[in-house]
């Protein structure tokens, strides 16, 4: 069994920051794992600007990766299957198969996932054309997929707005539907509403989807029928931490980034990652 | 035009089992299915319960078949390597009216031969089932009730049928049927099929298929139901729980799926126009009634809702230019034989899943007698599940690997949903948002390779 002082699960903004903080603080035995082939997590698909000083996601990854300590091991293509209270983790990768790793400190940096359409009280059939906003962001920006318009986005938070802007830039018609009484996103993301004259229907939600094989229209809770070939769900994020459900709260476990709490800005994620890296490192040294 | 001894119309769980069982005889067979895959209708949207048999009238075909088939389900699922759990069920009362229903069902069940059926107190029920609410006064405990993955069962029967030499025509709609001196010709959206016997297992459309050749006798009137599936973070009960409400009407059913999720449903209701569409009223019924039966149910943990359609068979009479229902819905399975060599399963609903293999065996035997066919000594009832896994995790939530996905595709999945039904990818808490693209690409690669 391989042993590391610190195991960091997830190489997004939080995990990279934690690995750097621990490595630069002198911790020699750190393993960073991620299920994807490259570091960066969700930042890869964020082609919009707004990270750090007007960077886009991939540029911000480069910034994060700068001065990545040589001593830190990084295993890509690695899914963590289970973590046990005996301080071991079962890893799985097409590169090396199954491997059990023992650790002293665990930093969970697994990010978050989107609330899917199935979780919402939406009536109607289950046609093709319903995605979560982040899923569509990945499909468009990493895989070159172009959704069919008109598009309706449920939820006018930052992710909903970012997708609305991106679709509008491609001349795909977009309507935003928001349950609250005003747009939920940050001011800087709201500019696109006026720039592209994107309709925002407030105080309403999607009540029903219509279409047999393919989505045809959605009906709002006000009874308005909106023609719709693609529905994007952008109603919220849930921390991804089911991996540690059975562990309780052992002192060697540290949560950082969006798996700890949902952050509106990447800087908050980075800070938590750095903090987790420092704490784990100090605990290894016996300072804490 | 291709010639077969037997043509099976419909690739739901009934058609798949009919096809499997036809190959127990020396009969050439083809399964004709309109959709791109088998088990895409009622077979994928139902309670998944393997009933004990106390609900059915004493002496009825349903009662006999259900009790016998339930007893053989371990063997069947062993042969076909389908996940099955004999979890038992509790039919729970919360007052005196419901208790009399329980007592009636107990007597009926005992006469039907349901094993180990017994009435227990509310306290005993809560001991067996800690998730049960305080108010439960009594429960009818049926240890033989089970749960299965219904579409995996149907797909397994289909694979077994094909392995035993049954041919399959998917994406093939039956458009008309002609009667010849020595058999039938199915006009389809693809090549026509000639056969000596027809097994009509068209499910919701079985009446329409029969009426391509015969006058209406029994028609199917559809109603609908809604279901909710929960994240595994919400604990599932250990048993299937049926709420027998104090007021008239149907209560809630809570099912622990073989995958370990809590499923609530069905909420019976009229169709309201669109089949397969969930309704707010139905989903609200499930959400509102869940706390009456189950403690600590967080309806915020729902990850999926879906609707099912139920075909209710009615005899029909011709009146004022249309065929209208004559009396109440027929309670029994309707197995019709309108002409020599033509057999129809009309309106097979609960406990149709429990009895699918038996109904298939029955139809196959009828065809074998009609065609004077001997047994097929080469028939192998065994089918292997997908066991291949590797270290490349594609579906994070359910931890499904690339090897499993590829094997599902090799076995005939042509869509992301087809893969899902075979290996369970995308059934978890993100509902496929994270593995959809990778599976879509693997399907595309396979299609390119096939060209």
- Alpha carbons within 13 angstroms on the beta-carbon side of residue B290 total 28
List pLDDT tens digits, range A25-81.
Answer: 999 999 999 999 999 999 999 999 989 879 999 999 999 999 999 989 999 999 999
Q: CB–CB of A184/A194 below 8 Å?
A: no
pLDDT at B451 over 60: no
Task: Answer whether A186 touches B (CB < 8 Å).
Answer: no
Q: Residues, chain B, total?
A: 451
Helix (H) or strand (E) holding B181: none
Task: Answer whether A90 touches B (CB < 8 Å).
Answer: no
pLDDT above 90 as % of chain B: 95
Q: CB–CB of A12/A111 below 8 Å?
A: yes
Size of interface A-B (CB pairs under 8 A): 85
**Reported confidence tier of residue B448, pLDDT bands at 50, 70, 90:** confident
Task: Answer whether A275 touches B (CB < 8 Å).
Answer: no
Give me the mean pLDDT over the B12-35 stretch: 98
Give me the mean pLDDT over the B401-423 stretch: 97
> Pseudo-torsion of CA A225, A230, A235, A239, nearest 10°?
160
**Are A93 and B391 a contacting pair at CB < 8 A?**
yes
* CA neighbor of A52 nearest in space, from A255, A269, A257, A262: A269
φ, ψ (nearest 5 deg) of residue A90: -95, 120
Averaged pLDDT score across all residues of chain A: 96
**How far apart are the C-alpha atoms of A129 and B366, rounded to whole Å?**
45
Chain A positions touching B303 (Cβ under 8 A) are 116, 118-119
CA–CA distances in Å: residue B82 to residues A287, B151, B152, B154: 54, 10, 6, 9
Give me the mean pLDDT over the A247-270 stretch: 96
Strand partners, B345: B335
Q: CB–CB of A39/A74 below 8 Å?
A: yes
* CA neighbor of B150 nearest in space, from B45, B239, B230: B45
* CA neighbor of A121 nearest in space, from B287, B308, B233, B297: B287
**Are B279 and A123 a contacting pair at CB < 8 A?**
yes
Q: What is the structure's pLDDT at B268?
A: 86
Task: Answer whether A283 touches B (CB < 8 Å).
Answer: no
Task: Answer whether B339 touches A (CB < 8 Å).
Answer: no
> 3-class SS at B151?
helix
Chain A positions touching B392 (Cβ under 8 A) are 77, 92-94
Q: Out of A97, A126, A135, whose CB is closest to B391?
A: A97
Give me the mean pLDDT over the B174-178 stretch: 98
List pLDDT tens digits, range B366-377.
Answer: 999 999 999 999
**How far apart are the C-alpha atoms of B8 and A281, rounded to whole Å?**
67
More confident residue, B88 or A71: B88
Chain B positions touching A97 (Cβ under 8 A) are 391
B415 DSSP 8-state letter:
S
φ, ψ (nearest 5 deg) of residue A78: -120, 120
pLDDT above 70 as % of chain B: 100
**Reported confidence tier of residue B339, pLDDT bands at 50, 70, 90:** very high
Q: Is B105 exposed, middle or buried (0-12, 13-18, 19+ CB in 10 A)?
A: buried
**How far apart are the C-alpha atoms of B371 and B197, rounded to whole Å?**
8
Q: Out of B277, B302, B392, whose CB is closest to A125?
A: B277
Averaged pLDDT score across all residues of chain B: 96
Q: Which of B262, B274, B277, B281 to mutate to test the interface with A (most CBs of A within 10 A)?
A: B277
Q: What is the structure's pLDDT at B450?
A: 63
* CA neighbor of B345 nearest in space, from B372, B313, B373, B367: B313
The answer for A 24-83 residues in CB contact with B (under 8 A) is 35, 77, 79, 81
The dihedral sign for the CA sequence B254, B255, B261, B264: negative
Q: Out of B283, B399, B433, whose CB is closest to A114?
A: B433
Residue A248: how many CB atoms within 10 A of its CB?
Answer: 8
Task: Answer whether A248 touches B (CB < 8 Å).
Answer: no
pLDDT at B147 over 60: yes
**Are B280 and A119 a contacting pair at CB < 8 A?**
no
Task: Answer whether B279 touches A (CB < 8 Å).
Answer: yes
Chain A positions touching B395 (Cβ under 8 A) are none
**Are A123 and B283 a contacting pair at CB < 8 A?**
yes
CA–CA distances in Å: residue A118 to residues A121, A224, A227, B267, B295: 8, 21, 21, 17, 23
Q: What is the structure's pLDDT at B247?
A: 87
Q: What is the structure's pLDDT at B151?
A: 98
pLDDT at B447 over 70: yes
Name the H helices within B2-121. 13-22, 61-71, 73-80, 96-112
**How far apart are the C-alpha atoms of A137 and A132, rounded to whole Å?**
9
List pLDDT tens digits, range A87-104.
Answer: 999 999 999 999 999 999
| Angle ∠(A177,A181,A186) on CA atoms, nearest 5 | 80
pLDDT at B272 over 80: no
For B16-26, give one letter per residue: b (16+ CB within 10 A) or e: bbbbbbbbbbe
Q: What is the structure's pLDDT at B405?
A: 98
Q: What's the ipTM? A: 0.94
Give me the mean pLDDT over the A220-243 stretch: 97
* CA neighbor of B350 nearest in space, from B163, B210, B207, B225: B225
Question: Checking phi first, is residue A175 left (phi over 0); if not, alpha (psi -120 to 50) or beta?
Answer: beta
Strand B240-244 to strand B89-93: parallel, antiparallel, or no bridges (unpaired)? parallel
């Amino acid at each position: 069994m391989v042993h590391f002082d610190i195991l960091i699960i997830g190489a997004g903004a939080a995990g990279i920051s934690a690995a750097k903080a621990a490595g630069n603080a002198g911790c020699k035995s750190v393993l960073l794992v991620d299920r994807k082939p490259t570091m960066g997590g969700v930042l890869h698909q964020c082609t919009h600007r707004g990270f750090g000083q007007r960077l886009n996601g991939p540029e911000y990854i480069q910034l994060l990766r700068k001065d990545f300590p040589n001593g830190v091991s990084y295993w890509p293509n690695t899914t963590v299957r289970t973590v046990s209270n005996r301080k071991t983790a079962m890893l799985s990768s097409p590169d090396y198969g199954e491997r059990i790793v023992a650790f002293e400190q665990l930093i969970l940096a697994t990010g978050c996932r989107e609330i899917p359409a199935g979780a919402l009280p939406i009536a109607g059939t289950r046609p093709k054309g319903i995605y979560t906003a982040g899923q569509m962001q990945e499909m468009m920006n990493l895989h070159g997929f172009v959704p069919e318009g008109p598009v309706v986005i449920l939820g006018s938070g930052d992710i909903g707005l970012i997708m609305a802007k991106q679709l509008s830039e491609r001349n795909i018609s977009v309507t935003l539907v928001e349950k609250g009484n005003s747009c939920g996103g940050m001011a800087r993301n709201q500019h696109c509403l006026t720039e592209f004259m994107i309709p925002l229907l407030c105080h309403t939600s999607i009540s029903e989807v219509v279409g047999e094989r393919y989505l045809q229209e959605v009906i709002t809770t006000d009874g308005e029928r909106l023609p719709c070939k693609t529905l994007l769900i952008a109603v919220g994020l849930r921390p991804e931490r089911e991996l540690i459900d059975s562990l309780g709260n052992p002192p060697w476990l540290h949560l950082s980034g969006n798996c700890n709490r949902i952050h509106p800005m990447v800087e908050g994620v980075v800070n938590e990652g750095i903090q987790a890296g420092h704490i784990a490192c100090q605990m290894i040294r016996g300072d804490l | 035009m291709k010639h077969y001894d037997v043509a099976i119309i419909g690739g739901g769980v009934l058609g798949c089992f009919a096809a499997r069982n036809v190959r127990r005889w020396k009969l050439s067979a083809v399964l004709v299915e309109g959709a791109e895959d088998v088990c895409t209708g009622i077979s994928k949207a139902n309670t998944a319960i393997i009933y004990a048999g106390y609900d059915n009238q004493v002496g009825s075909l349903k009662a006999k078949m259900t009790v016998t088939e339930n007893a053989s389900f371990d063997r069947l699922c062993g042969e076909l390597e389908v996940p099955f759990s004999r979890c038992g069920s509790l039919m729970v009362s919360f007052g005196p009216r419901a208790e009399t229903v329980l007592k009636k069902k107990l007597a009926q069940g005992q006469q039907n031969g349901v094993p180990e059926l017994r009435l227990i107190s509310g306290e005993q029920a809560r001991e067996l089932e800690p998730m049960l609410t305080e108010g439960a006064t009594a429960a009818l405990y049926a240890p033989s009730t089970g749960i299965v993955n219904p579409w995996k069962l149907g797909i397994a029967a289909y694979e077994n049928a094909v392995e035993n030499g049954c041919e399959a025509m998917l994406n093939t709609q039956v458009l008309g049927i002609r009667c010849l001196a020595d058999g039938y010709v199915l006009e389809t959206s693809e090549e026509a099929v000639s056969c000596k016997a027809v097994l009509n297992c068209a499910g919701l459309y079985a009446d329409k298929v029969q009426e391509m050749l015969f006058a209406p006798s029994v028609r199917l009137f559809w109603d609908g139901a809604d279901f909710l599936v929960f994240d595994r973070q919400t604990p599932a009960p250990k048993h299937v729980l049926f709420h027998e409400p104090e007021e008239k009407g149907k209560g809630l059913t809570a099912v622990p799926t073989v995958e370990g999720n809590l499923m609530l449903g069905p909420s019976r209701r009229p169709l309201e126009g669109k089949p397969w569409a969930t309704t707010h009223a139905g989903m609200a019924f499930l959400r509102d009634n869940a706390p009456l039966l189950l403690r600590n149910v967080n309806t915020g943990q729902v990850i999926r809702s879906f609707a099912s359609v139920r075909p209710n068979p009615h005899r029909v009479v011709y009146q004022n230019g249309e065929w209208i229902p004559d009396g109440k819905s027929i309670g029994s399975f309707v197995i019709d034989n309108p002409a020599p060599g033509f057999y129809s399963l009309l309106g097979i609903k609960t406990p149709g899943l429990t009895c699918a293999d038996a109904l298939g065996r029955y139809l196959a035997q009828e065809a074998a007698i009609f065609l004077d066919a001997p047994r097929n000594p080469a028939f192998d009832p065994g089918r292997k599940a997908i066991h291949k896994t590797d270290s490349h995790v594609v579906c994070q939530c359910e931890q499904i690997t690339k090897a499993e996905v590829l094997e599902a595709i090799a076995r005939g999945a042509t869509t992301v949903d087809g893969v899902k039904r075979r290996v369970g990818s995308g059934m978890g808490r993100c509902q496929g948002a994270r593995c959809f693209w990778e599976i879509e690409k693997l399907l595309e690669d396979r299609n390119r390779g096939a060209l």
